[in-house]
């Protein structure tokens, strides 16, 4: 069967999926040149009526939309023939059906078998590393690119670290360590996260053991021992002179940055050199640590109380049931079955500071471990509300990058992370155009 659709959005009826569809309408109205000519797309889910209602609601909101109406595809996770049909008829698929550890694998399998490039917004490292281990070789053989974590988790950090490495290479320097500091700014309306994201986090904390098992049998090249001075990791509440109080970042970004570096070292991020002739040089490996910034000691205290209870309960099946039954109670009202309001989305933004150190030499000094680090720079990634404003913008740009670049060899094939897939493309420039900014801070 030929590929009827350039892009299909699966899970279009969900909270995130619907925002992704809305963003496609917005983009096609404001920046139609971002889409290929003759662009054809589809939205997919398990209920035709709900999908049709989304088109009926969004289409009148964007009268100047320059792309045709999306086709409607019915696909249920438990119906393999429907998933196969969806993958078979699409060039690129955005998968917004989660929690991915329960729903993701069948979609990945169909995409690999039917040669459909794939992006998702998972923040679940266990799922990502399991898919990488299970499907990488098959995807590479079938010349298909599967890219996980193409939302706020973990494009700003993963591509931000890549940008830092590129800045060092441009200056003729060698980076050795990067620290990431995440800051969320909210307004008077407060913060709201979706229930499926909370559900993913609850199960994520409960599957740390499984992730360890997957890593034990990994065929990927292990990260080398640090060549320069060891980066100190602050396991407890600490205070940075410039940025303030911080605690370890508990979401997916450190796992994704680590996996990206392993994919580069193993050679899985190699592009088709014959086609790209003289592709850019591979980025070097660095030590990495990530933190969340907290606005005050009072918030830090609350963070520890809620964190302690959450960790304790997430470790057992009955505890997870309790957490899932009362999201507001166990997340200080942040996560709920209610959706975020437009006010909450408008008043929230994120900032990721990437502080790095290294040597002012093109290669690592031979006695690097005993030398003082004499190079440093800071980069900042900034964007709107992460979950439902930034994430749709990011994943749509990842999907359009796959659509426009995949045939010219600039994107490697296999099961990859964002930076391993997109290091040789213009994804950062594209993100800047939709308000996710990456800049060196002087």
Ligand X SMILES: NC(=O)c1ccc[n+]([C@@H]2O[C@H](COP(=O)([O-])OP(=O)(O)OC[C@H]3O[C@@H](n4cnc5c(N)ncnc54)[C@H](OP(=O)(O)O)[C@@H]3O)[C@@H](O)[C@H]2O)c1
Residues engaged in binding ligand X (CB under 6 A): 11, 13-17, 45-47, 50, 76-78, 96-100, 103, 121, 123, 151-153, 194, 196-197, 200, 386-387, 391
What minimum distance in Å lies between the beta carbon of 160 and ligand X?
A: 15
Long-range contacts of 217-220 (CB under 8 A, 24+ apart): 217/133, 218/129, 218/133, 218/262, 219/133, 219/266, 220/132, 220/259, 220/262, 220/263, 220/265, 220/266, 220/268
Residue at token pair 């679940």: 124
Tell me if residue 78 falls in helix, strand or coil. Answer: coil
With contact defined as beta carbons under 8 Å apart, do 91 and 42 qualify? no
Nearest distance from C-beta of residue 251 to ligand X, angstroms = 9
How far apart are CB 396 and ligand X at their closest, in Å? 13
Residue nearest to ligand X (CB): 98
Nearer to ligand X, 67 or 150 (CB): 150
Q: Which is nearer to ligand X, 356 or 391 (CB)?
A: 391
Q: What angle do CA 105, 110, 113 make, to 5 degrees?
A: 120
C-beta of 197 vs 401, nearer to ligand X: 197
DSSP 8-state code for residue 335: B
In the bound state with ligand X, the residue whose beta carbon lies nearer, of 99 and 358, is 99
Instruction: Give the closest residue to 200 by CA, choosing from 97, 269, 270, 284.
Output: 97
Spatial distance between the Cα atoms of 152 and 156, rounded to a whole number of angstroms: 6
Nearer residue to ligand X within complex by CB, 283 or 386: 386
Of residues 129 and 153, the one with the C-beta less far from ligand X? 153
- Name the minimum Å distance from CB 341 to ligand X: 15
In angstroms, what is the minimal distance from the CB of 221 to ligand X?
A: 26
Rounded least distance, CB 201 to ligand X, Å: 8
At its nearest, how many Å lie between ligand X and the CB of residue 53? 11
Tokens of 140: 């590479």
* Residue among 327 and 387 whose Cβ is closer to ligand X: 387
CB atoms within 10 A of CB 407: 11
Nearer to ligand X, 82 or 169 (CB): 82
3-state secondary structure 5-31: EEEEEECCCCHHHHHHHHHHHHHHHHC
Question: Rounded to the nearest whole angstrom, what is the least distance from the CB of residue 20 to ligand X in the complex?
Answer: 9
Minimal distance in Å, beta carbon 86 to ligand X? Answer: 10
Cβ atoms 189, 349 nearer than 8 A: no
Q: What's the CA dihedral at 134, 136, 138, 141 to 10 degrees?
A: -170
Question: What Å distances lie between residue 7 and 94, 100, 213, 338, CA to CA?
Answer: 7, 20, 35, 29
User: 327 is written with which tokens?
Assistant: 């999201």
- The secondary structure element, H or E, covering residue 218 is none
* Least spacing, CB of residue 152 vs ligand X, in Å: 3
Instruction: Pick between residue 391 and residue 406 the one whose CB is nearest to ligand X.
Output: 391
| Beta strand segments in 80-141, E | 90-95, 117-120
State which residue, 106 or 303, has the beta carbon closest to ligand X: 106
Helix axes 195-205, 317-325, angle to 10 degrees: 160
């Amino acid at each position: 069967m030929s590929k009827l659709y350039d892009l299909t959005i699966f899970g279009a009826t969900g909270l995130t999926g619907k925002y992704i569809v809305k963003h496609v309408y917005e983009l096609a109205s404001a920046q139609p040149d971002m889409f290929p000519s003759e662009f054809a797309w589809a939205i997919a889910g398990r209920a035709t009526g709900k999908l049709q209602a989304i088109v009926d609601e969004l289409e009148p909101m964007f009268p100047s939309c320059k792309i045709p109406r999306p086709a409607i595809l019915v696909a249920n996770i438990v119906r393999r023939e429907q998933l196969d049909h969806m993958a078979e008829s699409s060039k690129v698929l955005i998968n917004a059906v989660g929690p991915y550890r329960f729903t993701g694998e069948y979609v990945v399998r169909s995409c690999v078998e039917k040669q459909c490039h794939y992006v998702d917004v998972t923040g679940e490292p266990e799922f990502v590393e399991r898919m990488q281990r299970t499907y990488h070789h098959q995807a590479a053989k079938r010349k298909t690119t599967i890219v996980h974590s193409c939302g706020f988790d973990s494009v700003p950090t993963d591509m931000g670290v890549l940008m830092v490495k590129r800045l060092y290479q441009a200056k003729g320097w060698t980076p050795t360590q990067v620290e990431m500091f995440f800051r969320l700014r909210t307004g008077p309306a407060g913060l709201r996260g979706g229930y499926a994201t909370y559900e993913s986090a609850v199960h994520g904390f409960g599957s740390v053991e499984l992730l360890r098992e997957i890593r034990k049998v990994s065929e990927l090249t292990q990260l080398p021992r640090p060549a320069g001075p060891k980066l100190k990791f602050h396991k407890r509440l600490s205070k940075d002179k410039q940025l303030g109080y911080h605690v370890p970042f508990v979401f997916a970004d450190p796992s994704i940055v680590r996996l990206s570096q392993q994919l580069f070292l193993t050679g899985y991020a190699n592009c088709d050199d014959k086609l790209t002739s003289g592709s850019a040089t591979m980025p070097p490996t660095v030590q990495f640590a990530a933190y969340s910034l907290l606005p005050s000691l009072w918030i830090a205290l609350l963070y520890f109380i809620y964190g302690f209870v959450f960790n304790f309960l997430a470790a057992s099946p009955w505890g997870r049931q309790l957490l899932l039954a009362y999201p507001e109670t166990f997340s200080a009202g942040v996560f709920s079955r209610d959706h975020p309001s437009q006010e909450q989305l408008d008043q929230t933004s994120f900032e990721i500071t990437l502080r790095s150190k290294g040597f002012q030499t093109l290669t690592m000094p031979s006695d690097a471990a005993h030398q003082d680090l004499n190079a440093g720079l800071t980069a900042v990634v900034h964007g709107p509300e992460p979950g439902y404003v930034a994430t749709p913008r990011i994943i749509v740009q990842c999907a359009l990058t796959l659509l426009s670049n995949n045939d010219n060899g600039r994107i490697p094939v296999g099961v990859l992370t964002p930076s391993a897939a997109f290091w040789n493309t213009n994804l950062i420039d594209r993100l800047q155009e939709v308000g996710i900014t990456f800049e060196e801070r002087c």
